[in-house]
Chains A and B, each alone.
Chain A
Amino acid sequence: MNSNPTFLLNGEPVSLTDCDPRESLLRWLKRRRLTGTKEGCADGDCGACTVALIATDCKGTSRLQAVNSCLLPMGLLPAREVITVEGLVDKGLVDKGLVDKGLVDKGLVDKGLVDKGLVDRSTVDKSGTNSERLHPVQQALVDSAGSQCGYCTPGFVMSLFVGLHEDALDDHAIAGNLCRCTGYGPIRQAAARLADERPQDPRFAQLKAQSRKPLPASQLQNFFSPSTLADALTLKARHADSQWFAGGTDLGVSLSHGLSHGQPLASVLIALDRIDALRQLAISDEHVRIGAGVPLTELESALQGIFPALDEMLPWFAGRQVRNRATLGGNLGSASPIGDLLPVLLALDAVIHLRGPDGEREVATADFFIDYRKTARRDDELIVAVTLPRRSDLWSTSAKVAKRQTDDISIVAVAFVLARDSQGRISHARLAFGGVAATPKRALLTEAFLLGKRLDPAVITEAADRLRSEFEPLSDHRASSDYRRALCANLFLRCVYETSANETSVSEPAASEPAA
């Protein structure tokens, strides 16, 4: 392993020797007086600390990725490339000969450049010099009056910057960024203008196009990033007090606060994001096998259209910065009762593949959750993949209700899967819920009630009534028990009726089928 680990910060190599591997990149930047990256919450909720990572997939293709620097421990950084808001302004105009260095040295303004549109007038007006040019995203926000207090602005700049260069400038690009005072209107106008004009900045296109090798294994003190499964399992066996670290969107919060659900974190962390075997995605006619380390944004694009319940949940799982890092393995390993993908995996009969010192075994998702954050995984085992069976006869959907729509913890999340036989009777039912018990759960009683019945209005109403009383959810600061019960019933009604209004395939036998 490299004894002098470094990473690239805005193109410049920076040494990581002697750096605290558990300190967040956000705090590290702040200590280095790179204060453009802001701390609003240090929880991954507000997006003010958004930076761009260069992520290279297992095929060697690089893309820019917006991530929350508050959730990124320094231990993950060796050999990575990071761009912060300080790296966006093009300072190279002098080098390119666009600006006369003599003029700049004298603090004089080259008015010709303003006229040519090469330099933003406000920069000229402000500094009296014109040796730099704002990135098009920065310019668009300036022009749209997209900043007021400015504290959230660098985060929006970085989310839009990645959105522009990755051709993904929809509202979801900024769903992980909170603004308290400017208002989203001008920011969305800037985004719309950028999506419309697609201005290019060749510096970052070139940066993406560079060929890169897979990230090598690395170690910063007690923070390990192995590059193979075998090495990961060896490290786990060697360090009794150690913990897996997947995308870090949950554990990263714990690192920020020093505790993980009231418990101190293990003294050794083993990061999994450099292991190619965990990032494979295999799609066949019978099933889809998802590596436990595939980031959720990659699932979103690669699996689109295969599992509607998954498609519908992923955008609401969290902001894009979190989804760029979060993984199925991490969601399963954390096993939170409000892990939003867990009801989906339950409803789709996912099988979980665990690898330990004694080899690999499979566990059905239904058998995986044992108690509050307790699972069938043994401490020395690693979740390596999840297999979802494909069935063409299934209707599936999902929904999530939280206090705010984007980037929030759910009150109740649901995933429903139904199939009917040729007579229009329900032959397969999976009604899975998060936020109603200590673990994600299926409504087994209501599922049994539905089997063999047609989804006529009386049955739908009766099923909803049964769902209202099938669980005994907690009352907490997010919602009361009664509200959660109401959601169990009403989300079922909504999903069934919305779908039947669109397709007629659920509550009515399809028109093409012969009447029974």
Chain B
Amino acid sequence: MSISPAAWRHESAVGHVTGRAIYTDEQRPALGMLSVYPVQAPHAHARILSIDSSQARGMPGVHAVLTASDVPGENDTGPIFHDEPLIPADLVSFYGQAVAWVVADDEALAQAASKRVIVSYEPLPALTTIAQAIAAQAFHLPPAQVARGDALTALASAPHRLAGELLIGGQDHFYLETQTSWVEIDGEGTVHITASTQHPTETQIIVARVLGLPANRVVCCSLRMGSAAACAWAVASVARRPRPIRMPPSLRWLRTRADDRCGSSCRARWT
């Protein structure tokens, strides 16, 4: 029984079934590559009062703690609307948002140091349900209408009318490969990103924007993905930083499943 002719086979199928197909984190990042780890906000909505990273920066093997002021270009990663700061300067807008990034010799150290970054917050009221948001007239974007004809009049004269509410529960994707990326800067200053992303072009453009570089100085490659993740620009954006802190020009970021679940700003209704 042959379900699909050989000619239709997935070009990577043999690599997939033998385990030889290589994904982002399994490529061989350069030796000496540093790791980054986020400092995540424990509030859904809060004002950032201060960030004290002196303890973390004092740990051997920690190279930098990056905050909003370190972003050399436009501090924004929104692909269409420019409303998503890479690192918020003063306002936390979702639980788990990264307010600082620790750069260290390896993942374990970066993670340990992230716990030593002291952030002081002023918690603000948070709207966590659709009903609360409507009551407060707090819309994510101005409400958009798609209109044709006079729907209200037509409904008013309709012989049957149904009324009710429909709630659509968004769900987060369970992509199998967690979000991963790594970055190298070559001798000419070109930023090379290797990322598990389904949109390398978007990643290239956003990284260039955040770094204040022309897009032709940023290259993004995605060999293949474990079912479509994104978000490489966070790493790329911290890869270039203002002097005087010296830093080897390569970084990697591998998220564990737990970090991945609470650090994503997308598809927020997890019920």
Contacts and interface: CB of A to CB of B under 8 A. Distances in A.
B14 A37 contact: no
B9 A145 contact: yes
A181 interface: yes
Interface residues of A, number: 51
Contacts of A33: 26
Given A138-B18, A145-B9, A43 B257 contact: yes
Contacts of B224: 149-150
Nearest to A127: B14
A84 B3 CA distance: 27
B19 A84 contact: yes
Contacts of A196: 1
Contacts of A143: 2-4, 6, 9
A179 B20 CA distance: 18
Of the listed residues B12, B226, B257, the one surrounded by the most CB atoms of chain A closer than 10 A to its CB is: B226
Interface string A190-206: 00010011000000000
Contacts of B175: 180
A48 B226 CA distance: 11
Q: Chain B's interface: helix, strand, loop or mixed, by majority?
A: loop
A89 interface: yes
A265 B20 CA distance: 35
Contact of A40 (B1, B14, B26, B257): B257
Given A143-B4, A186-B3, A178 B17 contact: no
B177 A40 contact: yes
Q: Chain A's interface: helix, strand, loop or mixed, by majority?
A: loop
Interface in B190-236: 224-228
A180 B3 contact: no
Contacts of B14: 120, 122-123, 126, 134, 138, 142
Contact of A147 (B13, B178, B258): B13
Nearest to B258: A257
Contacts of B257: 40-43
Contacts of A144: 3-4
Given A141-B13, A153-B16, A121 B174 contact: no
A129 B4 CA distance: 24
Contacts of A148: 10, 227
Nearest to B5: A143
A64 B175 CA distance: 29
Contact of B225 (A42, A86, A122, A149): A149
Interface string A31-59: 00101111111110010100000000000
B226 A147 contact: no
B254 to A, nearest CB: 9
B15 A150 contact: yes
B18 A180 contact: no
A157 interface: yes
B176 A142 contact: no
Given A38-B176, A151-B177, A193-B1, A142 B20 contact: no
A206 B172 CA distance: 45
Contacts of A257: 258
Contact of A151 (B10, B13, B23): B23
Of the listed residues B1, B23, B176, the one surrounded by the most CB atoms of chain A closer than 10 A to its CB is: B176
A142 B13 contact: yes
A134 B13 CA distance: 11
A151 B176 contact: yes
Nearest to A147: B16
Of the listed residues B20, B173, B175, the one surrounded by the most CB atoms of chain A closer than 10 A to its CB is: B20
Contacts of A186: 3
A141 B16 CA distance: 9
Interface residues of B, number: 35
Nearest to B12: A150
Contacts of A84: 19
B10 A181 contact: no
Nearest to A40: B176
A122 B17 CA distance: 12
Interface in A382-400: none
A25 to B, nearest CB: 15
B19 A37 contact: yes
Contacts of A122: 6, 9, 13-14
B157 to A, nearest CB: 41
B226 to A, nearest CB: 3
B3 A36 contact: no
Interface in A109-156: 120-123, 126, 134, 137-139, 141-145, 147-154
B21 to A, nearest CB: 5
Contacts of B256: 42
A260 interface: no
Contacts of A149: 176-177, 224-228
B139 interface: no
A88 interface: yes
B155 interface: no
A33 B177 CA distance: 17
A145 B11 CA distance: 10
Interface string A323-343: 000000000000000000000
B17 A35 contact: no
Interface string B157-186: 000000000000000011111100000000
Contact of B17 (A153, A180, A189, A193): A153
Nearest to B254: A39
Contacts of B227: 148-149, 151-152, 180-181
A419 interface: no
Of the listed residues B14, B16, B20, B177, the one surrounded by the most CB atoms of chain A closer than 10 A to its CB is: B16
Nearest to A37: B19
Given A38-B23, A143-B6, A152-B176, 5 more contacts: A33-B26, A46-B174, A138-B17, A149-B227, A150-B226
27 contacts: A35-B19, A38-B177, A38-B226, A40-B176, A42-B257, A48-B176, A85-B17, A85-B19, A120-B14, A122-B13, A126-B14, A134-B14, A141-B16, A142-B10, A142-B14, A143-B3, A143-B6, A144-B4, A145-B4, A148-B10, A150-B10, A150-B12, A150-B13, A150-B15, A150-B224, A180-B173, A180-B175
Interface of B: 1-4, 6, 8-10, 12-23, 26, 173-178, 224-228, 256-258
